[in-house]
């Protein structure tokens, strides 16, 4: 008992020097999370099977490394306030599970909440931040998603700052995911506290919808609604290596059409968003796996510049997005938000594509780019000729523009 108290006091003393862990999440984190498909139906068997599938499916080779347990893993706190996993669903304990995940070359993520209880009505971390951070370090956790239910009377920035300091005092580098749904503009303060922060409410497996919950107390949102929920130019200026805007976990493979899944994934890549799969990766259809492991699309998301793309123009339900990439390259994505087919023409030489926030100019009049179709994996000409294409409903045309050298 005395040793535990001394450890806690020593951790508290370190908070005057606390900061977030640097050199983590230098590109948007990639992984899988249990919530979108399984909700509270989690167990150590499921998590082990997800880790196995991450490796055997090729997702790990494509860059996915985090296996994140969301809500409802919690058991009770002991007499000293330390949380323990549900003994029925996690009988081997979290350290044994972490060891298994790490043996696969993957990393373990876990979930808690800044309030008295989690959104799934399990014990939250309010008042126990340092005990929880110590426990996560002892279990060798690598990622913490920190939610915002049952937080009456709390200041969001202060609550997340407390957990940041607790994690730093515990001494194990952990990626810290802020999840207060963008309510308190975390992009303005999250960069000094966490490595990613939610910019919107919870996603739902639809392309264009709003799902009312609890009599309108809260909603789940479709892909299009999340794209429109915040001003992108406001958000993108705050994102970059080590600090990312997070439009929520993905719904690829959870019931949308393949066109919609492809558009969803492409836009998350254009946004330099964390790529956290939310489907049952143990039993994916081949076409879903093909989307999730498209290395050309992933390379756009994971580009070392870390610049979030921007909406350039909208014409006849088709949005044109651009994203600066390293070595002078660009990505372009034409998003057809209409359920019917649209034809497009894009004359590169007459378009003035400039990223004024980060100081990049495509300068199509003087620069020639070769076009590479990210989804067909084929060359598609150059910018010397206008682009003419047909885009199916709720789908995308996504290309990498390679600067001719």
Positions marked active-site: 147, 202
- Owner of token pair 């009770």: 76
Which residues are bridge partners to 313 per DSSP? 320
What are the counts of helices (DSSP H) followed by strands (DSSP E) for the chain? 12, 23
CB contact set of 153 (below 8 Å; sequence gap of 6+): none
Return d(Cα 166, Cα 257) in angstroms, integer.
43
Q: Quick one: which of 80, 99, 76, 77 has its CA closest to 88?
A: 76
Strands 218-221, 210-213: pairing is antiparallel
As a whole number of angstroms, the distance between CA 19 and CA 168 comes to 6
Report CA torsion sign: 74, 78, 82, 87.
Answer: negative
Q: Do residues 204 and 256 lie in contact, with contact meaning Cβ atoms separated by under 8 Å?
A: no
Is the Cα torsion angle 182, 187, 189, 193 positive or negative in sign? positive
With a CB cutoff of 8 Å and minimum separation 6, the contacts of 311 are: 232, 319, 320, 321
Q: Which residues contact 34 (CB under 8 A, 6 or more apart)?
A: 42, 46, 47, 50, 68, 69, 70
């Amino acid at each position: 008992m005395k040793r535990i108290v001394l450890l806690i006091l020593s951790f508290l003393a370190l908070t005057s020097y606390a900061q977030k862990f640097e050199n983590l999440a230098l590109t948007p984190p990639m992984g899988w999370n249990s919530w979108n498909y399984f909700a509270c139906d989690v167990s150590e068997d499921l998590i082990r099977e997800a880790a196995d599938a991450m490796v055997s499916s090729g997702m790990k080779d494509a860059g996915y490394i985090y296996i994140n347990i969301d809500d409802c893993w919690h058991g009770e706190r002991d007499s000293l306030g330390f949380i323990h996993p549900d003994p029925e669903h996690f009988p081997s304990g979290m350290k044994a599970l972490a060891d298994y995940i790490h043996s696969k070359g993957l990393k373990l993520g876990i979930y808690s909440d800044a309030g008295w209880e989690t959104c799934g009505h399990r014990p939250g971390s309010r008042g126990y931040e340092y005990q929880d951070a110590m426990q996560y370090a002892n279990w060798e956790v690598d990622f913490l998603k920190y939610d915002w239910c049952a937080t009456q009377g709390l200041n969001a920035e202060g609550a997340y700052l407390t957990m940041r300091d607790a994690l730093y005092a515990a001494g194990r580098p952990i990626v810290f995911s802020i999840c207060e749904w963008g309510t308190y503009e975390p992009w303005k303060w999250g960069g000094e506290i966490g490595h990613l922060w939610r910019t919107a409410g919870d996603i739902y497996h639809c392309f264009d919808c709003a799902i009312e919950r609890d009599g309108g107390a809260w909603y789940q949102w479709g892909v299009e609604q999340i794209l429109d929920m915040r001003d992108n130019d406001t958000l993108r200026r705050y994102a970059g290596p080590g600090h990312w805007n997070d439009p929520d976990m993905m719904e690829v493979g959870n019931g949308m059409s393949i066109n919609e899944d492809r558009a969803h994934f492409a836009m998350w890549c254009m946004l330099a968003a964390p790529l956290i799969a939310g489907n049952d990766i143990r039993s994916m259809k081949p076409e879903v796996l093909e989307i999730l492991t498209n290395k050309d699309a992933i390379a756009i998301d994971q580009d070392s510049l870390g610049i979030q793309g921007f909406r350039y123009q909208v014409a006849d339900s088709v949005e044109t997005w651009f994203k600066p990439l390293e070595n002078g390259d660009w990505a372009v994505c034409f998003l057809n938000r209409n359920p019917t087919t649209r034809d497009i023409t894009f004359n590169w030489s007459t378009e003035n594509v400039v990223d004024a926030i980060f100081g990049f100019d495509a300068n199509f009049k003087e620069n020639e780019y070769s076009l590479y179709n990210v989804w067909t994996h084929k060359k598609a000409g150059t910018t010397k000729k206008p682009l003419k294409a047909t885009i199916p409903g709720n789908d995308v045309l996504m290309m990498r523009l390679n600067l001719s050298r």
